[in-house]
Amino acid sequence: LRLLFVGDSVCMGVGATCAAPLQAACAERLAALRGVPVVWRTVAETGADVRDLRSMLLAPCEANKHLSGVNEGLGFDIAVIFCGVNDGKKLFEGRWPSVFKKDLAALCATLQGEAPEGRIAVPCIPGYTRAPLLQLWPARHLVSFFFGR
């Protein structure tokens, strides 16, 4: 099972006590439930908004060789997108919710074009005031979404 995580600092694990805690927990849980090996990759950058994430996915591999996952192509069975916080910071720059919705749809379309059979999830994560809860946020919510368990 191939997982692809795309996102901002949440996806990078900024502030966490270990590297990529969400990815590791999700992969471990899925492997245990499905009884299959799970590999995961991350394409992320602190401060990235949805447009930045899409640009990172579309950019030539040489420019992104420092990003885990980009050089191998975007094949995935499940992609998880962590985004929105940095887009919200651009509200006064004209990034209204309707613009965010279009930008997110474009990012999802880019991912779907790379893996037509892949599934894409955009989990609702706690906002600024609940950021400490991100380290406690269990992977079971993603597992429940994908496998109904």
Give the list of residues 6+ apart from residue 96 with CB closer than 8 angstroms, or none. none
Domain with 112 in it: 2-143
pTM, to two decimals: 0.75
Across 102-124, average pLDDT = 93
Q: Is residue 11 part of a domain?
A: yes
In a domain, 149, yes or no: no
Q: Which amino acid is at 70?
A: V
Q: What is the CATH number of the domain that holds 113?
A: 3.40.50.1110
Average pLDDT (91-110) is 90
* 129-139 residue pLDDT tens: 454 444 444 55
Instruction: Read off the pLDDT of residues 40-57 as tens digits, 9 standing for 90 and up.
Output: 999 988 889 999 999 999
41-71 per-residue burial string, b: 16 or more CB within 10 A, e: under 16: bbbbbeebbbbbbbebbeeeeeebeebbbbe
Does 11 have pLDDT greater than 70? yes
Kindly list the distances between the CA atom of residue 32 and the CA atoms of 20, 28, 60, 69, 143, in Å, as whole numbers in the listed order.
18, 6, 35, 23, 11
Residue 15 is assigned to a structural domain of this protein: yes
Q: Is residue 148 part of a domain?
A: no
The structural domain count of the chain equals: 1
- Residue 60, domain member (yes or no): yes
Mean of the per-residue pLDDT values of the chain: 78
